[in-house]
Structures are given as C-alpha cells and as structure tokens.
Amino acid sequence: MLLGALIDAGANHKPIQETWQLIPKYYPKCKSIQLETTEVLKHGFRARRAVSKISEDSSEVHAESMIEATEKIATSSQMSAEAVAFARNSVKTLVEVESGLHGVSMKQTHLHEVGSTDTLADILGVASACDSLGIFDGEIYSTPVAVGGGTVNFSHGKLAVPAPAVLEILTRNRVPVIGGPEPTELATPTGVSMLVNLVDAFLEQYPPIVPERTGYGAGNLDLPTAPNILRVVIGQSLEPNLNRDSAQVLETNLDDLPGEMLGHAIQRILDSGAKDVWVTSAQFKKNRPGHILHAICDPQDTERIAELIIEETGTLGVRYQEYTRFTLNREIRTIKVRIHEKTFDVRIKTATTASGRVIKTKPEFDDIHTIAETLAIPARTVAELVTQEAQKQIERKTGETRPLA
C-alpha cells in the first residue's frame, strides 16, 4: 500500500524495477520478480495497487541471509545513501524483533512469512520510490497507526491483533496507535518496520503545510465499512524558518524534600544534560504544600534522567510526555568589546532562523559579571553596552537594522 501510494504520488517505476531485478541475483529464494500497478476503486475512491509478480521456492530463510541480501542489493543499486540506510534498518528492525520474540539468536532465527521475497520487494521498492520523490531530503511525519482488531492467523497459530511482531516494533519505538476502524489486521510487521525507520515524528494532526501532491495506495482486502487505502501527502512547510524536533518533559511531585536537597537535585539534573529544569508550587493530598519538579530532555536521555531524578529526590515515580517543538538555531560566539578604555572578550548567544535571520542575541551573564566587577560599574550598564556592540557587529555582517531582544 505504501509503495502504491508513492507511485500514485509520482514516483518513477524505472528505478524501482531496476532495484527489484537485483533481488533474484542476491536472494536465491527468488527466481523472478516484476512490478505491476493498476488503478482500482475502494468504496468508490480511486487508488493505485502495486503488485509484485514473484516466482520463488518454498525454502525457509535464515535471518542473516535476508540481512546479507539486503546489504548486497542496496549497495549494488543506484539508491542514495539515505535510501540504503532506510532499507538496511527496516530489515534489521524486522529480523531483530522476530529473533527476540522466539528467544533465539540471529543465526538460529528462521523467517516464515517475513522471509518471503515480498518483504524485500516492499522495503527496497519503498526505498527507491522515496528516492525518486526526494522524500529523504525532507521531514517525514505520520499520524497514529491504525492497527485494526480481531485475530490474525499465521505460522504460529491464531493471535489477537496486533500481531506480536507488530506490537513489539511499535512498543520499542513508542509509536502511538489506535484500534480499528475494522476488526481485521491493518498493520503488518513489514509495514511498521518501514514506518518507524522512515518517519521523523508521529503527530496527532497534520503539520502546517501547503499540499502539492497526494497518492493513494490500495490494499488487497475489501473492508466492510471503510476504503482500504493509504494516503501520502507531499507538500511545502509553512514554517520554513523554524526547526522541528521532539523533546521529553519529565515531572514528579515532591512534598517532603528539603529546599537544600531540591536545589542540589536541580543542579545535578542540569549537569546531566537536561535542557532545562524548573520547579512550580503545588498542593497535594491532605493539603500538604509541595513542589512539582519539571525537566526537559532529548528523547534518548529520558530513562537516564528519570533515574537521576528518582535517585536525587527519592520520589516513587516520574511521569513523562513527548512534545514536538519548533526551535531556532543557536550559536555562541565571542566578540571583543571596548568599555572604559579596556577591551574584553564577551560570549554572545545568538538565535537565528533556518534562513539565517537573527531573532535574538544575548550576552553571557558570567562575562557581564566579570566586566562589572573589574570596572566597578552596574552589570545592567555593561549588558546594555555589550548588546549595542553586538547589534553593530551583526548589522555589519547581515545588514539587519532592527533592534535585537
């Protein structure tokens, strides 16, 4: 469905088919493969179905064999480095989860459904299609994954949807999900393996964009109440001057920690790499006054900083939530400032848009304090003089003349 949607959005067939032709060469299970696309109607909506016509034998495949084949095919193709990395990581995600679910090493892992040529065709086809559309050069977002419902039959029997491999991949990558809207399997292991290696962030709603192209990919199933289609939207961001990333906000309630210990904990958390830490007053059960400790950190640091908060405060738990945020580029540079016939080096923090427009500049207060102590004048006066000099230097460099905060 993803491949069909990308082709429907304008991806070139030729590089996809050229990449697919390498599969029989490096994946012995596959004898031949051909791409066919057709337009179909799903509940009255037009969509494109991408079909892989495959001839393959029924032999089982080891996980390592699929990894090796993916590496050889991807590096032998004309795909970009980003597309090769996507294909490599998607297959690795898939086989690592299969290995973990069965409690065996990679060498002992036999692939059943995911060992079919279809899996390689899907991943390599999507990699080539994304390359064709220049998707790896932009930011990629997804809404929460609809996993469906009911049960699914596969080589290990009948299990509830989502299938174990799907649920494990979603769990490891903290992907938001929703049930339904149909009582059948709507998310497959291969599909979510590609999604988690393709998407920069999962959003509840569309980001602010101007849509330019859309593509609709059709699935094989005909669902009772909904069109079985996947939609891809390609467009230009409305926020070209802002960066977008994710940050975790951690919180914990504290009602029995002395002020000195709280201050020490805040400093430890900051020193550990948190982006910011602050405290708000609160009132808890039994009318006890206390504080809520907040910390912002990068997603990969969440568990480490949560452990530090527990260690330093003795709290019994830390809650957290991921936020998507817009940010400016930040830079610290040193300028020379002459005050009262003396020259000082002052560090200046500068915030700029992606296009280089300066939004804010601020001198480092430690340097302001040093100058104020040296010259025995108010720090406020030093800050004003330094800011004026920084403004002049920025104007000479960029031509901007508006006041900087």
Q: What is the CATH number of the domain that holds 366?
A: 3.10.20.300
What is the per-residue pLDDT for 243? 76
Q: Is residue 405 part of a domain?
A: no
Q: Is residue 47 part of a domain?
A: yes
CA dihedral 101, 102, 103, 104 (to 10 degrees): -130
Report the C-alpha gap between 386 and 391 in whole angstroms: 9
Q: What CATH number corresponds to the domain at position 298?
A: 3.30.70.1380
In terms of domains, do 85 and 228 share one?
yes
In terms of domains, do 159 and 269 share one?
no
Q: Is residue 226 part of a domain?
A: yes
Task: Tell which of 304, 327, 350 closes a domain.
Answer: 327
What is the per-residue pLDDT for 195? 96
What is the per-residue pLDDT for 2? 96
List alpha helices for 352-405, DSSP H.
Answer: 365-375, 379-398
In terms of domains, do 217 and 338 share one?
no
List alpha helices for 21-108, DSSP H.
Answer: 23-26, 63-76, 81-102
Tell me whether the omega of the peptide bond preceding residue 207 falls within 30 degrees of 0, making it cis: no
**CA pseudo-torsion sign 305, 306, 311, 315:** positive
What is the per-residue pLDDT for 405? 46
Q: Which amino acid is at 307?
A: E
Report the C-alpha gap between 295 and 254 in whole angstroms: 14
Structural domain for 390, as ranges: 329-398
Q: Is residue 403 part of a domain?
A: no
DSSP letters spanning 257-279:
--HHHHHHHHHHHHHTT-SEEEE
What is the per-residue pLDDT for 403? 44
In terms of domains, do 66 and 27 share one?
yes
In terms of domains, do 17 and 27 share one?
yes
Of 2, 1, 9, nearest in space to 132 by CA? 9
Of 122, 115, 86, 116, nearest in space to 98 by CA? 115
What is the per-residue pLDDT for 98? 81
Q: Is residue 361 part of a domain?
A: yes
* Distances, alpha carbon 245 to alpha carbons 61, 89, 197, 201, 204, in Å: 39, 21, 16, 8, 15
In terms of domains, do 16 and 81 share one?
yes
In terms of domains, do 393 and 273 share one?
no
Task: Tell which of 327, 344, 361 closes a domain.
Answer: 327
Q: 117-137: buried (b, 16+ CB within 10 Å) or exposed (e) per residue? A: bbbbbbbbbbbbbbbbbebbe
Q: Is residue 404 part of a domain?
A: no
CA atoms within 13 A on the CB side of 108: 7
Q: Which amino acid is at 26?
A: Y
In terms of domains, do 320 and 304 share one?
yes
pLDDT along the chain (405 residues), means of 10: 97 94 92 94 95 87 86 93 94 88 67 76 96 92 94 79 92 92 92 95 88 95 92 84 84 93 95 95 90 94 95 95 86 88 90 76 91 93 88 69 46
β-strand pairing of 157-160 with 177-179: unpaired
In terms of domains, do 196 and 136 share one?
yes
In terms of domains, do 306 and 223 share one?
no
What is the enclosing helix (H) or strand (E) of 35?
strand 30-42
Task: Tell which of 203, 237, 271 closes a domain.
Answer: 237
List alpha helices for 199-246, DSSP H.
Answer: none
What is the enclosing helix (H) or strand (E) of 130?
helix 117-133
In terms of domains, do 199 and 261 share one?
no
In terms of domains, do 97 and 207 share one?
yes
Q: How many domains does the chain have?
A: 3
